[in-house]
Amino acid sequence: MKNLVFSFVLSLLAIFATGQISCTASFVSNQSQSNTAVVQFVNNSSVSQFQPTTYTWNYGDSNVSTLQNNSNVTHTYSAAGTYHVSLQMDVYDSITNLLVCTSYDYDTIVIGSITTVTAHSTALQTASGSLIINFQGSGTKTSSVPSYSTYSWDFGDANGSVLQNPTHTYASVGRYTVALTHEVRDSATSSIIAKASFSRYVNPGSVDSCDVTMYTYVYQNTLQVNCHAYGNAASYLGHRYPKNYSWDFGDGNSANNKTVTHTYAQAGTYTIALYMDSYDSINQTVFCRDTAYTTITVAYNPPPSCNASYYVDTASSGGSNIFVYNNSTPSQNNPNYSVSYGWSFGDGDTSVLPYPSHTYASSGAYVVCLSIRVTDTNNLTCIDVFCDTIGIDSLGNVIYKNASTGFTLNVLDPTIGVEEHALAKLTLYPNPASEWVELQGLTQSAQWQVFSIGGEFVGTGKVSAEKPKISLPNVKDGLYILNLIDDTSQKSFKLQIKN
| Mean pLDDT, range 123-147, rounded to an integer | 85
Distance CA 218, CA 222 (A): 8
- The class that CATH gives domain 209-298 is mainly beta
DSSP 206-260: ---EEEEEEEEEEETTTTEEEEEEEEEEE-TT-----EEEEEE-SSS-EE-SSEE
Q: What is the CATH number of domain 425-499?
A: 2.60.40.3080
Query: pLDDT tens digits for 53-72?
Result: 999 999 999 999 999 888 89
**CB–CB of 278/243 below 8 Å?**
yes
DSSP state of 420: G
Pairing verdict, β 408-412 and 321-326: parallel
Q: What is the CATH number of domain 116-202?
A: 2.60.40.10
**CB–CB of 147/112 below 8 Å?**
no
User: Which uninterrupted H or E stretch holds 18?
Assistant: helix 2-20
- Res 170: pLDDT: 96
In b/e form, how buried is each residue of 300-325, taking b as 16+ CB within 10 angstroms? eeeebebebbbebbeebbeebbbbbb
| Mean pLDDT, range 254-262, rounded to an integer | 94
**Regarding predicted confidence, which is higher, 385 or 402?**
385
Pairing verdict, β 469-471 and 457-463: unpaired
Residue type, 85: V
**CB–CB of 337/379 below 8 Å?**
no
Mean pLDDT of the chain: 83
Query: pLDDT tens digits for 142-154?
Result: 776 678 999 999 9
The full set of domain ranges for the chain reads 2-111, 116-202, 209-298, 425-499
pLDDT category at 85 given cuts 50, 70, 90 is very high
Residue 334 confidence (pLDDT) above 90: no
Residue 34 confidence (pLDDT) above 80: no
Residue 155 confidence (pLDDT) above 90: yes
The answer to whether the 2-111 and 116-202 domains have the same CATH topology is yes
Query: pLDDT tens digits for 402-442?
Result: 444 455 676 766 665 554 456 667 788 888 888 889 988 88
Integer angstrom CA distances of residue 12 from 5, 9, 18, 53: 11, 5, 10, 21
- Res 322: pLDDT: 77
Q: What is the CATH number of domain 2-111?
A: 2.60.40.10
Residue 159 confidence (pLDDT) above 50: yes
User: Which uninterrupted H or E stretch holds 11?
Assistant: helix 2-20
Residue 48 confidence (pLDDT) above 50: yes
Starting at the edge strand that comes first in sequence, how are the strands of the sheet with 436-440 ordered? 427-429, 436-440, 469-471
Query: pLDDT tens digits for 205-240?
Result: 887 778 899 999 999 888 999 999 998 877 776 655
Residue 368 confidence (pLDDT) above 70: yes
Least confident of 48-52, 277-281, 316-320: 316-320
Residue 273 confidence (pLDDT) above 60: yes
- Res 278: pLDDT: 85
